[in-house]
Structure 1
Amino acid sequence: MAQPRMTPQDGVAWITGASSGIGAAVALELARRGWTVAATARRLDRLEELARASEGLPGRIVAHAGDVTDAVAMAALVETIEAVHGPVALAFLNAGVASGAGERKPGFDLAAAETTLTVNIFGVVRALAPVMARMSKRGRGQIAVTASLVGYRGLPLSAAYGASKAAMIHLCESLREDCARAGIVLQVVNPGFVETPMTERNGFSMPFLMQVDAAATRIADGFARGGFEITFPRRLAWLLKALRILPYPIYFALMRQVAKRL
């Protein structure tokens, strides 16, 4: 039986990585749909600017600065949000970086890899743990985690970034049944290329590049629709899904051709 999706009447939405890109666009889209959105990132000035942009919408955005790499701070932040605004009904764990991704450099950049893996993996789980615990006690809630189509299989120029997103897909697949038993809807968001400050650094042509507002609409629609995976654009998603079933000799032959064009 399908679990109920959360609505603005159930509580507030919490978004990490909300200062720009997909996080900021989804915060505004949810505010248009009547949600009170607690927006989190490290830069309070950017969050306050986002909150002002929501003025006049059916819902609103409230700024709550926080660093997802600090587990104690994340637990305290969730407690503060719920004390001030009410229960977190929908959590969109979106904070992430792509340090070094999309750039061809000699050797392996250890510092960039450590930054990417720390934020993209541990930044998610440090936010996930406190909000999942509170939702479990209430027996209801909805959590969505941003991964990526890049996480389907190893692609050139995305070693650390792709590995971090593959880890998020695996994490959500593994936790799905635990969450379902606790009354929590768990979703994974796998976007393709979206025009954001993060992708501006990519030094290659990005197929099926989407505008960030269109991506935010797809994501918010996915929250309302339910289902485990929210993925877009579908043409790129199905192409990469098909690549997952190829044996290594064929797959690596294709990737050699891809790498030559980057």
Structure 2
Amino acid sequence: MTPFAGKTYWLVGASHGLGREVARQLDREEARLILSARSEDALQELTQELRHATALPMDVTDTNAVAEAARDAGPLDGVIYNAGAYEPMRTQDWDSGSVLQMSDVNFTGALRVLGEVVPGFVRQRRGEITLVGSLAGYRGLPASIGYGASKAALISLAETMRYDLKGSGVTVRLVNPGFIKTRLTVKNSFRMPQLLEPEDAARHVVAAMRTRRFRTDFPRPFSFAIKALHLLPDLIVYRGK
């Protein structure tokens, strides 16, 4: 018997990359999965592969669609928010449409989903919330307009929820990956340190879900370097800028 056996998880952002691999690994652990993303075809293909999964197509930027999907999902033991949008962009190349899309998917979409499930978790005094952030949320980085800010907001949200829900019976987890080889990171033209395959990154996420630990940053030592950069004074970080 695994810690996931018989539990129902709503995995938002399941159609590709990290989310797809998390679904596969939780399915092998006998979890019951409700899989959401915008791509209905990709979800249907994945559910046919898995044993305990149901497709629930949904656009996290549509408030009514999220509310309807939450009703259709029914009682839950946990929610995993992994929906993500990314476009590398420098401030000089500002594209408001792309910036707002990243913010709406990466952060505001999480607010919509959590607004539907957290009150029920609080009432029943149990439930698991796993938010997939990014190491990019720890410090403003070059060419990260939209993405870095939205992930920083998600990190702040998780930290606030951790304070508020202490002792409530509701578990809050924040998982911050580094670079993962996906259709999003293929857009990068720079070298990505310790680039992970989706299967390896998913193992980190599922391992984090086995515990009640709040924060999981990976991979090491890249995560240590990013967090060290976060602690450096601005005078050093922006020296000569």
Match of 1:259 in 2: none
Q: 1:79 aligns with which of 28, 48, 71?
A: 71
Match of 1:64 in 2: 56
Question: C-alpha offsets along residues 221-244 of structure 1, whole Å, 9 cap, x if unaligned?
Answer: 100022111221021111111111
Question: Relative to 1, partners in 2 of residues 1:201 and 1:128: Cα closer, same or farther, differing over 3 Å?
Answer: same
1:109-258 matched pairs, under 5 angstroms = 109-253=95-239
Match of 1:40 in 2: 36
Name the aligned partner's letter for residue 108 of structure 1: W
Question: C-alpha offsets along residues 192-226 of structure 1, whole Å, 9 cap, x if unaligned?
Answer: 00111111111111000001001101100100022
Question: C-alpha offsets along residues 87-135 of structure 1, whole Å, 9 cap, x if unaligned?
Answer: 211210111101x22x568432212111111111111110011111111
Contact 1:14/1:92 (8 A) holds in 2 = yes
Name the aligned partner's letter for residue 71 of structure 2: E
Match of 2:85 in 1: 97
Contact 1:41/1:66 (8 A) holds in 2 = yes
Superposition TM-score, scaled by structure 2 size: 0.94
Match of 1:3 in 2: none
Cα separation, 1, equivalents of 2:181 and 2:12: 19
Contact 2:90/2:144 (8 A) holds in 1 = no
Contact 2:12/2:81 (8 A) holds in 1 = yes
Contact 1:28/1:61 (8 A) holds in 2 = no
3-state SS in 1 of match to 2:122: helix
Cα separation, 1, equivalents of 2:53 and 2:220: 30
Match of 1:260 in 2: none
CA RMSD for the aligned pairs? 1.7
**Stretches (4+) displaced over 4 A:** 103-106
Contact 2:47/2:54 (8 A) holds in 1 = yes
3-state SS in 1 of match to 2:193: coil
Superposition TM-score, scaled by structure 1 size: 0.87
Seq. identity, %: 35
Q: Which has the higher helix share?
A: 1
Contact 1:146/1:189 (8 A) holds in 2 = yes
Cα separation, 2, equivalents of 1:81 and 1:111: 31
Cα separation, 2, equivalents of 1:14 and 1:73: 15
Match of 2:50 in 1: 54
Name the aligned partner's letter for residue 89 of structure 1: D
Cα separation, 1, equivalents of 2:61 and 2:15: 16
In the alignment, structure 1 residue 14 sits paired with structure 2 residue 6:
no
Cα separation, 2, equivalents of 1:216 and 1:16: 14
Give structure 1 stretches of 5+ with no counterpart: 1-5, 257-262
| Deviation at residue 178 of structure 1 after TM alignment | 2.0
Residues 66-75 or 104-113, more deviating: 104-113
Name the aligned partner's letter for residue 32 of structure 2: T
3-state SS in 1 of match to 2:164: helix
3-state SS in 2 of match to 1:112: helix
3-state SS in 2 of match to 1:210: coil
